[in-house]
Structure 1
Amino acid sequence: MLLIATQRDSEVFDLPLISQSAEHNQETPPMGYERRYEMVEGRQGDTLAETTALFAVGTLAILTWVIVLSNDPRALGWFALHPLLQTLAISLFTYGILTLQPTSQPKTKAAGLYRHQVAILLFGLPSILLGTLAVSYNKWLGGARHFSTWHGTLGIVCIIWLVAQVGFGAGSVWYDGAVFGGGIRAKAVWKYHRLSGYILFPLLLLTAHLGGAWSNWGAKYGSGSARFLAYTLAPILVLSGVYMRIR
C-alpha cells in the first residue's frame, strides 16, 4: 500500500504546510507562485548532476541489455534475466533517489516521496529480487557453487540490506510512522534510513561493477570499451551525480 501524503505526513518531517495559509485566508496563490516557491529548493549544479546521473545509469542499463540480447540470451538460460533485471533495478533506484532530491517544501516532498516509493518499492525491489532468484536458480540447476565470488558475496549482502532498508523506510512514514512510535521517533528512524541508503547505493554500484567488468560473463560477451563505459565509468558518474545533490 502506497503512502498518500497528507498534512499528518508532513508533520513527520517537521515541515509547515504551504496550503495552510492559503486555506485560512481562502485565497488562491497568484499564478506562478507555486513554481517560484519550489525553485528555491534547487541550487546551481543540481540539474547537471541529475542529468549526469540519469544519462550514466541509462548507459549502464542499455549497454547491459544490448550485450545480453545480442548474444543469444536463450543459451544463457535463467542467468540472462539476472543482468537485465539488476540493471533495471539500479536505474529505478537511481531515479527514486533523485526524485527525492532536493525536496524541502511540504508539497514537493510529498510528491517526491510518492514517486520514490513507486520507483523503489513497486518496481525496483521486485526487479532486483527476481534477478537474484534467477541467477540463484540457474546456479542450482547447474550444480554451481553460490557466493563463490566477490560479486556474489557482496550482492547477497546488498539484497539483505536492501530488504531491511525498505522495511525501515516504509515503517518510518506509513501511518505516520506508527510502527516506530510516530512523531520524533519515526523521524529519527527516517534519518537513519536515509543515511543507510546513501551507504548502500554505492555498494550496489560496486556489485554491478564487479559483475560486469570482472566476471567471466562480461569478459566473454562484452568488449573492453563497452565494459569500461557501462561498469566502470557509468557507476562513477551515477554516484557523483547523486552525491552532488545531497543536502
Structure 2
Amino acid sequence: MIHNKEAESEAWFYGFTRTVSAGLAHLISVAFPAFIAFFSRPGTSWFSWHPFLMTVAFGFLMTEAILLFSPHGSLIKRFSHKTKARVHWILQSLCGACAVLGLAAISYNKHLNGKAHFTSWHGLLGLITVCVVCVQSLAAVPLIYHSLAKGWSLAKLKRYHAASGLVTFLLGSTSLLLGLSSSWFTASVGGYAWFLAAACPALSAVVIMNQVSSAYIAKKRLQS
C-alpha cells in the first residue's frame, strides 16, 4: 500500500515537472521571438529581417512543431496522431520557409554592403542548419504518405526522423546562441538581459531533448 502511494506520488511529480517544462517551452517560444523583434525592428532594414525570421523559425515554429507530440504539453493533445503529424509538417515547412527567407535577407544585406558571406561560425552553422531543415522537411513526406517509402517500416522511419529532427533542433538552437554573441546583439543587449536571452534557446533545447529521449526510452521499455 505504501509502495503504491510512493509510486503514485512519483508519477504525479513526474507529470507535473513535464507539464511545467512544456509550459515554459511554450512561453519561451513566444517571448523570445518577441524580444528579438523588439530589438531588430523587422522592416527597418534588410538585416532586421534576418534575426526576426530566424528566431521565428527555430524559436517558435520548430519548437511548437515538436511540442505537438508532447504528452504533457501538446496544444492539440486530444487530436489524432495523424492530425498532429500533418500540423507538425506544416509548421516545419513554415520553419523552413522562414529560415530560407532569413538567410536570403542576410545574404542580400551583405551583398549591398560589400561584405563577405559565411565568414563566422554563426554564418557557417546557420547555412548548414537551413539546408538540414529543408532536407528534414522533404524527408518527412514518406511519413505522411508511407507508400513512397517502399521497403522501410513506418516505425523505423519515425525513429530516424525523431533522431534527425532532434539534431536539427539542436543545430538551430546553437545557431541562435551564436547569433546572440554577434556584435549586433551584444551592442544592443548586455548584462542580465543578455544572459536571460541566451537562456531561452538553451532551456528550450533541454526540454525538447528530454521529450524526445523520454518518448523513445518509454517505447523501448514497453517492447522489452
TM over 0.5: yes
Residue 116 of structure 2 is matched in structure 1 by 145
Q: Distance in 1 between matches of 2:56 and 2:67?
A: 16
Deviation at 1:130, TM superposition (A): 0.6
The two structures have a TM-score, normalised by structure 2, of 0.79
Residue 92 of structure 1 is matched in structure 2 by 61
Residue 188 of structure 2 is matched in structure 1 by 221
Residue 33 of structure 2 is matched in structure 1 by 61
Q: Is the 8 A contact 1:64 1:87 kept in 2?
A: yes
Larger radius of gyration: 1
Aligned-residue identity in percent: 26
Q: Distance in 1 between matches of 2:39 and 2:191?
A: 12
Pairwise CA RMSD: 2.3
Q: What one-letter code is carried by the residue in structure 2 that aligns with 1:233?
A: A
Deviation at 1:227, TM superposition (A): 2.1
The 3 A distance-change label for structure 1 pair 59 and 225 is farther
Q: Is the 8 A contact 2:86 2:144 kept in 1?
A: no
Write out the 4+ residue segments of structure 1 that deviate beyond 6 Å after TM superposition.
Answer: none
Q: Distance in 1 between matches of 2:174 and 2:22?
A: 20
Structure 1 segment 94-133 matched on structure 2, within 5 A: 94-102=63-71, 108-121=80-93, 123-133=94-104
Aligned length: 195
Q: What one-letter code is carried by the residue in structure 1 that aligns with 2:183?
A: N
Q: What one-letter code is carried by the residue in structure 1 that aligns with 2:70?
A: Q
Q: Is the 8 A contact 2:57 2:95 kept in 1?
A: yes
Q: What one-letter code is carried by the residue in structure 1 that aligns with 2:89?
A: Q
Q: Is the 8 A contact 1:64 1:83 kept in 2?
A: yes
Larger relative contact order (CA 8 Å, sep ≥ 6): 1
Residue 53 (structure 2) pairs with residue 81 (structure 1):
no
Q: Distance in 2 between matches of 1:150 and 1:245?
A: 28
Deviation at 1:110, TM superposition (A): 1.6
Residue 239 of structure 1 is matched in structure 2 by 205
The two structures have a TM-score, normalised by structure 1, of 0.72
